[in-house]
Amino acid sequence: MDLTGRTIAITGASSGIGEATARACAAAGAAVALGARRADRIEALAARIEDEGGRAVALTTDVADERQARAFVEHAYEQLGGLDGLVNNAGVMLLGPVAGAPTDEWRRMIDVNLLGLLYCTHAALPVMLEAGRGDVVNVSSVAGRIAAAGSAVYNMTKWGVGAFSEALRQEVTKAGIRVTIIEPGAVSTELVDQNRPEIQDAIRSRFGDMRPLEADDIARAVVYALSQPSHVSVNEILVRPSDQTR
């Protein structure tokens, strides 16, 4: 899986799947731009990638802010000397029943999972269209295919990622831009920690003693899609832990 010479921007690179994807892309030879709000995390990751002989720039970004999302893509392009891949990975998962839910949690999910992805994609498309090539990789979820009680708004956002990605693919595929949806099952990351304590307990007891995936397991799927020859467009990859039933 060779990405030598490629320039790839990754949102949500400060932890979990985004961090693992950045390291995997850099190890495969790509120069990477790291976007997230926690500057200390992405700066440390960029330093680590550079120490290992790779090329990385840290760009502190809140993708929910359209200006910051646009600046992330523009600075990635300028500082990497091009942009031929965008991995829209930043996301939040705030679960719980619809009745009585704190509606600010809904806004956060819609702002990050949907609008953040849209802003970054919108900013990257002109560059990719002009180059006549590019990859947009959107991290959705099993929750983008199977809805469940307690996950309604998260389901809605990830369903949206899937619908948007397929429509976008039809718009840009003949212009040389490939669109890929990655749909992880349960992965051991910080994602659950953002939930209210009682919800965290409910999520953990739902998965019981299931062995979750590691972030690296998903990073390999992203690099697999990115490293295909140009005539091959991997549109969708669903990866679950072997003992995850739904």
Q: Which amino acid is at 222?
A: V
Q: Which is nearer to ligand NDP, 38 or 206 (CB)?
A: 38
By CB under 6 A, the count of residues binding ligand NDP is 31
- 9, 10, 12, 31: which one binds ligand NDP (CB under 6 A): 12
CA distance 18 to 244: 22
Which residue do the tokens 């949206």 mark? 160
Only one of the segments 1-9, 32-40, 74-82, 224-232 lies at the binding site for ligand NDP (rule: CB under 6 A); that segment is: 32-40
- 49, 87, 92, 120: which one binds ligand NDP (CB under 6 A): 92
By the rule CB under 6 A, 24 interacts with ligand NDP = no
Shortest distance (Å) from residue 125 CB to ligand NDP: 19
Contacts within 8 Å (CB) and 24+ apart, 171-175: 172/125, 172/128, 172/129, 173/233, 175/128, 175/129, 175/132
Task: Give the number of other CB atoms < 10 A from CB of residue 104.
Answer: 8
**What tokens were used for 201?**
């307990």
Shortest distance (Å) from residue 236 CB to ligand NDP: 14
DSSP class per residue in 195-211: S-HHHHHHHHHHHTT--
Q: Could you confirm whether 154 is annotated as catalytic?
A: yes
By the rule CB under 6 A, 15 interacts with ligand NDP = yes
By the rule CB under 6 A, 91 interacts with ligand NDP = yes
By the rule CB under 6 A, 138 interacts with ligand NDP = no
Which residue, among 165, 47, 109, has the nearest Cα to 34 in the 3D structure?
Answer: 47
Q: Which residues are catalytic?
A: 154
Residues at the site binding ligand NDP, with contacts judged by CB under 6 A: 11-18, 36-38, 41, 61-64, 89-93, 112, 116, 139, 141, 184, 186-187, 189-191
